[in-house]
Amino acid sequence: SALKETLGFQTEVKQLLQLMIHSLYSNKEIFLRELISNASDAADKLRFEGLAKPELFENEPELKITIGYDAEARTLTIADNGIGMSRDEVIANIGTIAKSGTKAFFEQLSGDAKKDANLIGQFGVGFYSAFIVADKVTLTTRRAGDAVATRWESHGAGEYTLEQVEKAGRGTEIVLHLKEGEDELLSDWKLKGIVRKYSDHISIPIEMKKGNSYGENGEVIVSDEMEAVNSASALWTRGKSEISEEQYKEFYKHVAHDFTDPLAWSHARVEGRQEYTELLYIPSRAPFDLFDRERKQGVKLYVRRVFIMEDTEKLMPHYLRFVRGVIDSNDLPLNVSREILQESKDIDAIRNGCVKKVLGLLEDLSANQPEKYAEFWQEFGQVLKEGVGEDMANKERIAKLLRFFSTTSEGVEPTVTLGDYIGRMKEGQDKIYYITADTLAAAKNSPHLEVFKKKGVEVLLLADRVDEWVVGSLFEFDGKALQSVAKGALDLGALEDEADKEAQKQVEESAKPVVEKVQKALADRVKEVRATARLTESPACLVAGEHDMSAHLERMLKAAGQ
Ligand code: ADP
Ligand code: MG
């Protein structure tokens, strides 16, 4: 039927559109990258669904993207013969933002174009970036295998129309009706330049008309022939020396749906029991849904160049959930499913190999590019810390990568490694001392530190939520036990000299009546009251039993309602 319906955008879509148009205008070329990226994803999806249902290819197996323009109509067309969308999918994908954390994201927006541009980049601009250059967008799409197609049209203001139409070929065609002043896009030279710059890594051909050439007598030959503008081979299959920095970065933006450059990457072909290629990236910024259990993004699994799935659980451990990129296996069966993944020993081997690559990449950054590592730590340190408890096999390697504040810290960044700490240990010291607290200030001002200050012994100040988990799993490092300064009778070992022991004895003697009184007053509320010579400024402090929960953990659990 020719019935046209008008539907409203979700409120967030309206907001996003407004903001994007204003804040990303200076970077407007990226709309083409985003639309090509979607077309490429659609080709991946068709290839995968086509494994089980070859009829979806409709006798048109060559996947490609085509770009063309009509100078007179002032339109630009981006078309693909990928999976396409059903009517319901159009509504779900193009009229709403289904991403988890959307609400929280919008609450962060400030109205300051510069700041917001950054945030929007993190959020991912995607399809809507078409409205940076277009004042009307017409999307016509037919899902592979379906009989009818859907046309979606919008001016990007607040609503869109939907209509059922005919479309011969499967896939999606997007027509951008350019805004006034965007005519420079109506040029082969300009468009090919943008495609080569941002989308060379796309693995299927991006075709455009060859354009005019000159004959023997200087006559203009107008050709309708098409040619691929990009290299059209999967980036990760190329040799390292054939890939430029820029290409690595653009590929990252495509796989990660990110707007900002990655911080670092590892690219390797691995041979042995399992043959695979990995191209894994560390983003430069944490996604807004890093701590969201519903998050959907992870590492993409390919089998012999065919996209199989994006996985958030099996290919990377939880503590490396920020890693993005692709793993392309030569050995796994093409029909590998989520269920098979769960069980597969082969996947375990690939995952172990990839974890080692990522840890190696981080070790390299920390040793050779400390500033970059500090950036990494700022964004993902909290998450990496989880690894100490999660990944027994790599515990020691992860522990070396940790950064802490300590009583010797001066800057505002945690920079102390456990190795540094051990290097600065006092003669006779055989433990790594730490204190946990809710805040860094509370840790720093704890009376428990007084004796350590007096003796010039460094103490790690742990104020992150995850730190309790770290010290609960990391009992020692490099043969040195980790010891809370707020627990037990605090055995200072060889750090204690005769004078200390003498002082302690005296205090115990002289304070006996006071201790008895206090013990009586507090009755059952404390286990024990002790006199100590260790406090130099404070009159008293609380100590947890050697085997009890720390006071800090107890507070955390209470706050969590446990
Ligand atoms: P993202 O690519 O990060 O998911 P986009 O805004 O770019 O976000 O796209 C939203 C969704 O719209 C995609 O996830 C996809 O489901 C759908 N989509 C967009 N373009 C196409 C296309 N050319 N073919 C099929 N589906 C598409
Ligand atoms: Mg996209």
* CB 93 near ligand 1, within 6 Å: yes
Cα–Cα dist 102/125, whole Å? 13
Q: Are 333 and 71 in contact (CB under 8 A)?
A: no
Region 87-112: mean pLDDT is 76
1 pLDDT more than 60: no
pLDDT value at residue 24 = 78
pLDDT value at residue 322 = 96
Region 238-266: mean pLDDT is 94
Q: How far is the CA of 469 from the centre of ligand 1 (A)?
A: 39
Indicate which residue's Cα is closest to atom 14 of ligand 1. 93
Query: Of 82-91, 496-505, 534-543, where does mean pLDDT reach its minimum?
Result: 534-543
pLDDT value at residue 527 = 78
Q: How far is the CA of 296 from the centre of ligand 1 (A)?
A: 14
pTM of this structure: 0.83
Indicate which residue's Cα is closest to atom 20 of ligand 1. 38
pLDDT value at residue 99 = 63
Region 299-312: mean pLDDT is 90
Region 322-339: mean pLDDT is 90
Query: What does each C-alpha distance from 530 to 229, 511, 517, 542 come to in angstroms?
Result: 79, 9, 12, 10
Exposed/middle/buried for 304, CB within 10 Å: 0-12, 13-18, 19+? exposed
* CB 287 near ligand 1, within 6 Å: no
Query: Of 233-237, 477-481, 522-526, where does mean pLDDT reach its minimum?
Result: 522-526
Region 531-545: mean pLDDT is 72
Q: Are 417 and 400 in contact (CB under 8 A)?
A: yes
Percentage of the chain beyond pLDDT 90 is: 59
Cα–Cα dist 82/375, whole Å? 38
Each residue's pLDDT tens digit, 2-33: 689 999 887 777 877 877 787 778 889 999 99
The ligand 1 atom nearest the CA atom of 78: 23
DSSP state of 416: B
Indicate which residue's Cα is closest to atom 18 of ligand 1. 38
**Two tokens at 261?**
């450059």
pLDDT value at residue 98 = 61
Whole-number average pLDDT of the chain: 88
Q: How far is the CA of 26 from the centre of ligand 2 (A)?
A: 20
Q: How far is the CA of 41 from the centre of ligand 1 (A)?
A: 8
Cα–Cα dist 540/31, whole Å? 64
Q: Are 106 and 15 in contact (CB under 8 A)?
A: yes
Ion ligand 2: residues, CB < 5 A? 37-38, 126
DSSP state of 126: G
560 pLDDT more than 70: no
Each residue's pLDDT tens digit, 165-194: 999 999 999 999 999 999 999 999 999 999
pLDDT value at residue 90 = 94
* CB 154 near ligand 1, within 6 Å: no
Q: How far is the CA of 46 from the centre of ligand 1 (A)?
A: 13
Ligand 1: which of 67, 93, 142 to mutate, most ligand atoms within 8 Å of CB?
93
Cα–Cα dist 101/286, whole Å? 13
* CB 34 near ligand 1, within 6 Å: yes
pLDDT value at residue 353 = 96
The ligand 1 atom nearest the CA atom of 171: 24
Region 249-277: mean pLDDT is 94
ipTM: 0.99
Query: Of 48-52, 389-393, 556-560, where does mean pLDDT reach its minimum?
Result: 556-560
Query: Of 137-151, 293-307, 400-414, 499-513, where does mean pLDDT reach its minimum?
Result: 499-513
Each residue's pLDDT tens digit, 110-128: 777 667 766 776 666 789 8
Indicate which residue's Cα is closest to atom 7 of ligand 1. 126
Query: How many CA atoms, within 13 angstroms, populate the side-chain half-sphere of residue 273?
Result: 9
Each residue's pLDDT tens digit, 208-231: 998 877 888 888 887 889 999 999
Q: Are 279 and 326 in contact (CB under 8 A)?
A: yes
Cα–Cα dist 207/195, whole Å? 10
The ligand 1 atom nearest the CA atom of 125: 6
pLDDT value at residue 385 = 96
Q: How far is the CA of 127 from the centre of ligand 1 (A)?
A: 6
pLDDT value at residue 16 = 78
Instruction: Say which amino acid occupies 11.
Output: T
Each residue's pLDDT tens digit, 423-466: 999 988 999 999 999 999 999 998 889 888 988 999 999 999 89
pLDDT value at residue 18 = 79
Each residue's pLDDT tens digit, 395-412: 999 999 999 999 999 888
Ligand in closest contact with the CA of 99: 1
Give the DSSP H/E element, type plus range, for residue 140. strand 134-142
Percentage of the chain beyond pLDDT 70 is: 92
